[in-house]
């Protein structure tokens, strides 16, 4: 422990630290940014590979052929959906029963804390319908889930129909070792959350649901299907789940392997992989894909119905069919074969997917960056905080060194009392707590006094509390620093991220549209936290915002 106890070496090291502090910090910052952006450069990434032994070979021939039947079923489902004005529960139950599944329903209801303006719902009531295909000769200990959402309007009819066609096909096979649950959920994420909570006997989000009558053992993996057209040009894989949790990389590898085998075009973040990694456009394409993944994980939302499964240690991914302008079209039979292949592979699993990485970034579907490669970049950024703190500590502990002109240096090196330091800390944290609790609780009062809707009231209250925290006596000499601080505040960072995200998905927006998007992002964040337990809003309100407020305090310290 020479470094910690030898005073000569300590003095040398601390001297080095204080002299070179700013240059080292700048170098670390730049190194961190360059490292992170360099990760998208293809030679620095690794090719994806199948880690799980049980999912190794793809030598099986897929025989699913009822794509056309699925499409006609989609029209039938659409007609019944329109007639029922929501989920056609009886038709679905009959359809599943005629295919030999054990069918059960679950009703749920949830009152949102304030109306959701994006999806236009406030008091949500719905029914989930699920059918269990029992494995013929296996004990009922493990299960797989295939789910398709029942969405209003024209969307996802083909997904539900393909689900039913697959169910019929699977029923005739003898090789199933796990039970397969075919779930059709209503009201997308809310329905999935109700089903999962009912399945696992938990109640973490205050949902009211009827208990599930039928169960199938512990769920090993889940696939969510979103298909809205008869033919598609590509399949998009969605991995990001709640709180940025990702499924095991083996699931993405599985999807990619099957897309290669069946000749289906596959994309991630909606972007197709390019071959020209040595050009600038190739690199920027990969960097954009990676940054999109980072942004999607950072916002903590679940970007597909699969996202809520991850919390229960169930590996899940969403497969979304996209119909755009390309020559080569893929029909429903091929998609059915893809799903059949994936589910057969998952059927072979002896234990949960755990061999491959849980934390990774994908610049493209065949290349990945694991946590061991991207964490050092964050480590370099975090080291800056440590170096600055050590520098301040060393300066605090050695005031006698600055007594060159002892006459003019009249400031007492004695530390200020604990109370003077504690007051801003407590006030910052209390403001953070207010930012977390008050917007939802004060919405009735705000609606009474101001001509706004409840959602707008919540968002505007949040913004009001946020800016109220800035109310401090001003010092015009520090105006420039103040402006820079405000431009780097958490709210503005979210605003920049909104604009950057729109740029990355190639749908840039104007300033006013961006502002409206920003407001809806805030309301969605608060809703996600209340409905599914996303942690981004509490993290921002209770940790990041008080820290920023303390910095703001220090700026105007007199």
Partner 1 sequence: MAAPLTLLLIVAVTIRAVLFRSSWAELISERVEVVSPLNAWKRVVEGLALLDLGVSPYSGDVFHEVSLSLIHFLFKSILGSDGITAVALYLSIQTYNKNVFRKQKYALESDRYPADCLELLRSPKEMFYIPLKVAMFYLLNPFTILSCVAKSTCGLNNAIIALFILCTLKGSALLSGILLALATYQSIYPLTLFAPALLFFLQRLYIPVNLRRSSFWFFTLQYAFIYVGSLVVITGLSFFLLGSWDFIPSVYGFIFSVPDLTPNIGLFWYFFAEMFEHFRLFFICVFQINVFFYTIPLSIKLKEHPVFLIFMQIAIISIFKSYPTVGDVALYMAFLPAWSHLYRFLRNIFLVSCVLLACSALFPVLWHLWIYAGSANSNFYYAITLLFNFGQILLVSDYFYAYLRREHHLTHGLYLKKKDGTEATLVLK
Which of the stretches 21-29, 119-127, 288-296, 351-359 binds partner 1 when contact is defined by CB under 8 A?
A: 351-359
Exposed / middle / buried, residue 267 (Cβ in 10 Å: 0-12, 13-18, 19+): buried
Q: Could you say which of 63, 354, 474, 478 contacts partner 1 (CB under 8 A)?
A: 354
Total residues at the site for partner 1 (CB under 8 A)?
A: 16
CB of 536 to partner 1, least distance (A): 16
Q: Where are the alpha helices (H) located in 201-248, listed in sequence order? A: none
**d(Cα 294, Cα 22) in Å, to the nearest integer?**
29
Q: Which is nearer to partner 1, 252 or 286 (CB)?
A: 252
Helix then strand then coil, % of the chain, to nearest 5: 55, 15, 30
Residue 364 CB, nearest approach to partner 1 (Å): 23
- The single residue among 303, 358, 499, 556 that binds partner 1, judged by CB under 8 A, is 358
Q: In terms of CB distance, is 5 or 476 closer to partner 1?
A: 5
531: closest CA among 150, 127, 103, 206?
206
Alpha helices, DSSP H, located in 188-347: 188-200, 249-262, 280-298, 332-347
**Nearest distance from residue 225's CB to partner 1, in Å?**
25
Q: Which stretch binds partner 1 (CB under 8 A): 3-11, 62-70, 80-88, 453-461?
A: 3-11
Under rule CB under 8 A, which residues in 306-335 are in contact with partner 1? 313
Number of neighbouring beta carbons within 10 Å of residue 452: 15
For the window 439-478, what string marks contact with partner 1 as x by the rule CB under 8 A?
----------------------------------------
**What's 271-301 look like in SS3?**
ECCCCCCCCHHHHHHHHHHHHHHHHHHHCCC
Is residue 8 involved in binding partner 1 (CB under 8 A)? yes
CA gap 386, 527 in Å, rounded: 35
Cβ–Cβ < 8 Å for 46, 366 = no
CB 124 within 8 A of CB 87: no
10 binds partner 1 (CB under 8 A): yes
Report in angstroms how near the CB of residue 270 gets to partner 1 at its nearest.
Answer: 27
**Considering the rule CB under 8 A, would residue 94 count as an interface residue with partner 1?**
no
Q: Binding of partner 1 at residue 140 (CB under 8 A)? A: no
| C-alpha–C-alpha distance, residues 545 and 386, integer Å | 20
| Site map 372..411 versus partner 1, x via CB under 8 A | --------------x--xx--x------------------
φ, ψ of residue 60 to 5 degrees: the values are -85, 145
Asked if 5 is part of the footprint of partner 1 (rule: CB under 8 A), the reply reads yes
Binds partner 1 (CB under 8 A): choice among 4, 123, 280, 410 = 4
**Binding of residue 412 to partner 1 (CB under 8 A):** no
Stretch that binds partner 1, among 1-9, 222-230, 399-407, 438-446 (CB under 8 A): 1-9
Q: Could you tell me if 461 and 439 are in contact, meaning their C-beta atoms sit under 8 angstroms apart? A: yes
- Residue numbers of the site for partner 1 (CB under 8 A)? 4-8, 10, 245, 313, 352, 354, 358-359, 386, 389-390, 393
């Amino acid at each position: 422990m020479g470094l910690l106890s030898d005073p000569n070496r300590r003095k040398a090291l601390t001297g080095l630290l204080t002299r070179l502090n700013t240059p080292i910090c700048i170098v670390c910052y730049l190194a961190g940014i360059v490292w992170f952006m360099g990760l998208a450069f293809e030679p620095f990434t690794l090719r994806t590979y199948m880690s799980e032994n049980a999912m190794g070979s793809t030598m099986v021939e897929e025989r699913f052929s009822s794509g056309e039947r699925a499409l006609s079923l989609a029209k039938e489902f659409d007609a019944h959906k329109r007639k029922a004005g929501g989920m056609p529960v009886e038709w679905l139950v009959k359809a599943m029963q005629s295919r030999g599944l054990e069918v059960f329903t679950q009703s749920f209801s949830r009152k949102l804390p304030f109306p959701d303006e994006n999806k236009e719902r406030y008091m949500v009531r719905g029914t989930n319908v699920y059918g269990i295909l029992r494995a013929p000769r296996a004990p009922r200990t493990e299960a797989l889930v295939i789910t398709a959402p029942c969405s209003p309007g024209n969307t996802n009819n083909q997904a539900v129909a393909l689900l039913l066609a697959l169910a019929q096909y699977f029923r005739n096979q003898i090789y199933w070792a796990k039970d397969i649950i075919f779930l059709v959920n209503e009201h997308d994420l809310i329905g999935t959350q109700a089903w999962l909570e009912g399945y696992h006997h938990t109640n973490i989000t205050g949902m009211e649901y009827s208990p599930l009558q039928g169960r199938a053992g512990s769920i090993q993996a889940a696939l969510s299907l979103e298909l809205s057209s008869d033919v598609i040009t590509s399949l998009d894989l969605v991995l990001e789940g709640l709180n940025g949790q990702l499924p095991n990389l083996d699931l993405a590898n599985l999807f990619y392997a099957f897309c290669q085998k069946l000749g289906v075009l596959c994309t991630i973040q909606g972007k197709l992989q390019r071959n020209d990694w040595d050009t600038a456009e190739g690199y920027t394409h990969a960097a954009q894909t990676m940054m999109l993944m980072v942004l999607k994980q950072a916002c903590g939302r679940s970007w597909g119905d699969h996202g809520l499964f991850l919390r229960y240690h169930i590996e899940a991914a969403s497969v979304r069919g996209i119909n755009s302008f390309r020559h080569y079209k893929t029909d429903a039979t091929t998609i059915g074969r893809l799903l059949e292949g994936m589910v057969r592979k998952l059927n072979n699993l002896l234990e949960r997917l755990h061999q491959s990485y849980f934390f990774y970034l994908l610049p493209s579907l065949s290349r990945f960056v694991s946590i061991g490669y991207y964490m050092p970049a964050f480590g370099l950024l975090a080291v800056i905080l440590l170096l600055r703190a050590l520098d301040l500590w060393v300066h605090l502990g050695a005031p006698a060194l600055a007594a060159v002109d002892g006459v003019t240096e009249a400031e007492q090196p004695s530390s200020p009392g604990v109370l003077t330091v504690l007051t801003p800390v407590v006030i910052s944290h209390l403001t953070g707590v207010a930012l977390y609790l008050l917007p939802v609780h004060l919405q009735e009062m705000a609606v009474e006094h101001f001509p706004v809707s409840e959602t707008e009231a919540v968002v505007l209250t949040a913004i009001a509390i946020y800016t109220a925290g800035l109310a401090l006596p001003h010092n015009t000499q520090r105006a420039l620093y103040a402006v820079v601080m405000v431009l780097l505040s958490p709210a503005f960072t979210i605003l920049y991220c909104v604009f950057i995200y729109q740029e990355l998905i190639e749908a840039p927006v104007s300033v006013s549209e961006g502002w409206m998007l920003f407001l809806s992002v805030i309301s969605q964040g608060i809703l996600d936290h209340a409905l599914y337990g996303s942690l981004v809003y509490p993290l921002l309100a209770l940790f990041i915002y008080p820290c920023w407020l303390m910095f703001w305090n220090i700026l105007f310290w007199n």
